[in-house]
Amino acid sequence: MSDRMTGVPATAESRELAHASDGETLYEIRDLKKHFPLTTGVIFRKQVGAVHAVDGVSFDVKRGETLGLVGESGCGKSTTGRLLLRLLDPTSGSIRFEGEEIADINPKRLVAFRRDAQMIFQDPYSSLNPRKTVGSIIAEPFSIHGLKTGEGERRKAVQELMDTVGLNPEHYNRYPHEFSGGQRQRIGVARAVALKPKLIVADEPVSALDVSIQAQVLNLLRELQRDLGLTLIFIAHDLSVVRHMCDRVAVMYLGKIVELASSDQLYGHPRMPYTGALMSAVPIADPKLAAVKKRQILAGDVPSPTNPPPACRFHTRCWKAQDVCRQDEPLLEEKDGGNVAACHFPLTDAEVLERVPTSRGV
């Protein structure tokens, strides 16, 4: 049987994810893969392997929601974000935006698609051209898409955007180096929302900022989402930030989604042992609770994405792993509580209470 919306064969995993949430679907991703070839030789290059950066990811994004993508460094979350905007070409899989397949659309249609889907990059220091003024940086989307062609009209639109994101419109002719890190990220936000897109992929938008500035930028994103009706895909490794921002959260490990649930359900009742270990690492403000908490420390290092472990990719570091975990890959399927997780031996409520402090209201 095939998934009628994508044309990709419908697996148990894709059906579970498709039914994991209600509401109008903006994005449908099915069995998305991105493998980067490894080659040797200078003149006669030969492929000797591949990095499995994203290796069979499936999920839906509802219109108006904020979906978080979390995981350790190198898990594939940033690559996934770039694939969704076609900043990278997928190796295989389906990406449907408002019912239209965009995984293989032509360059002309791709430009039109990017009016509806934009990205906020992680590093505000390297994502802005230091040789251009702030005004020309924010106006760049208008130039690319042939909008607001008059100089006065364009300047007015840019200054309105600057005011919207909390920048002084009188600084229109200043250069990026004249702004602080938080102000530079606001410039990136202004550029991303200039065309009033339907979707924004925010790739760790506050990780390079001071803690005191992070809250300001996050609140700005929430306000813009409310005012413009944006859908956000929020990529981060800071679990407290993700909990504050996201309606649902997808946890990635070695190129695969291993758990997907609402934010409250995931943080209060994780089912995948990997998710539980991530939650266990969150600092606890209550010293009494911290003293009795059983911290779950992950063993070893993340395996190489060039040669991922067979079956369950987490079994080399999992404290609950058994023989079946080394032999059969678990499917993403609904567990107790409604979480969709890929695990043969999901966490019980007793194990969560013992190891995950968020389930006790922390």
- Residue with the bigger pLDDT between 50 and 2: it is 50
Asked whether residue 4 is domain-assigned, the answer is: no
Give the residues across from 49 on adjacent strands. 38
The span from the first CA to the last CA of the chain, in angstroms, equals 44
Angle at 259 between CA 89 and CA 38, to 5 degrees: 35
Question: Is residue 90 located within the same domain as residue 141?
Answer: no
Domain count, the chain: 2
Q: What integer pLDDT is reported at residue 362 of this predicted model?
A: 41
β-pairing verdict for 333-334 and 340-341: antiparallel
Question: Is residue 100 located within the same domain as residue 160?
Answer: no
- Residue with the bigger pLDDT between 88 and 299: it is 88
Asked whether residue 1 is domain-assigned, the answer is: no
Q: What's the DSSP call for residue 157? A: H
Using CA atoms of 264, 270, 274, 279 in order, give the dihedral in degrees to the nearest 10: 50
The CATH number covering residue 101 comes to 3.40.50.300
pLDDT in tens, 175-205: 999 999 999 999 999 999 999 999 999 999 9
Question: Is residue 96 located within the same domain as residue 133?
Answer: no
Domain end position, chosen among 163, 195, 227? 195
Question: Is residue 322 located within the same domain as residue 292?
Answer: yes
Asked whether residue 2 is domain-assigned, the answer is: no
Asked whether residue 165 is domain-assigned, the answer is: yes
Q: What integer pLDDT is reported at residue 5 of this predicted model?
A: 34
- Rounded distance, CA 139 to CA 142, Å? 5
Question: Is residue 186 located within the same domain as residue 334?
Answer: no
Asked whether residue 185 is domain-assigned, the answer is: yes
pLDDT in tens, 43-93: 888 888 899 999 999 999 999 999 999 998 889 999 999 999 999 999 999
Residue type, 237: H
Question: Is residue 281 located within the same domain as residue 346?
Answer: yes
pTM of the model: 0.88
Question: Is residue 37 located within the same domain as residue 99?
Answer: yes
How far, CA to CA in Å, does 339 sit from each of 261, 314, 326? 5, 18, 23
The mean pLDDT value for 328-355 works out to: 89
User: What one-character-per-residue DSSP string does 165-180 give?
Assistant: TT--GGGTT--GGGS-
Residue 294's pLDDT band (cuts 50, 70, 90)? low
Q: Given a cut of 50, is residue 360 above it in pLDDT?
A: no
The mean pLDDT value for 324-338 works out to: 92
Asked whether residue 293 is domain-assigned, the answer is: yes
The mean pLDDT value for 165-171 works out to: 96
Domain hosting 151: range is 125-195
The mean pLDDT value for 282-309 works out to: 76
pLDDT in tens, 9-50: 444 444 444 444 457 999 999 999 999 999 888 788 888 889
Residue 8's pLDDT band (cuts 50, 70, 90)? very low
Given a contact cutoff of 8 angstroms between Cβ atoms, the answer to whether 232 and 225 are in contact is: yes
Given a contact cutoff of 8 angstroms between Cβ atoms, the answer to whether 340 and 251 are in contact is: no
pLDDT in tens, 92-107: 999 999 999 999 899 8
Question: Is residue 52 located within the same domain as residue 144?
Answer: no
Asked whether residue 168 is domain-assigned, the answer is: yes
Q: What integer pLDDT is reported at residue 41 of this predicted model?
A: 80
Domain end position, chosen among 195, 217, 239? 195
The mean pLDDT value for 210-220 works out to: 91
Q: Given a cut of 70, is residue 292 above it in pLDDT?
A: no
Question: Is residue 236 located within the same domain as residue 317?
Answer: yes
Question: Is residue 179 located within the same domain as residue 216?
Answer: no
Domain end position, chosen among 175, 195, 215? 195
Question: Is residue 106 located within the same domain as residue 211?
Answer: yes
What is the Cβ-side half-sphere exposure of residue 310, based on CA atoms within 13 angstroms? Answer: 5
Question: Is residue 202 located within the same domain as residue 140?
Answer: no
Q: Given a cut of 80, is residue 238 above it in pLDDT?
A: yes
Asked whether residue 5 is domain-assigned, the answer is: no
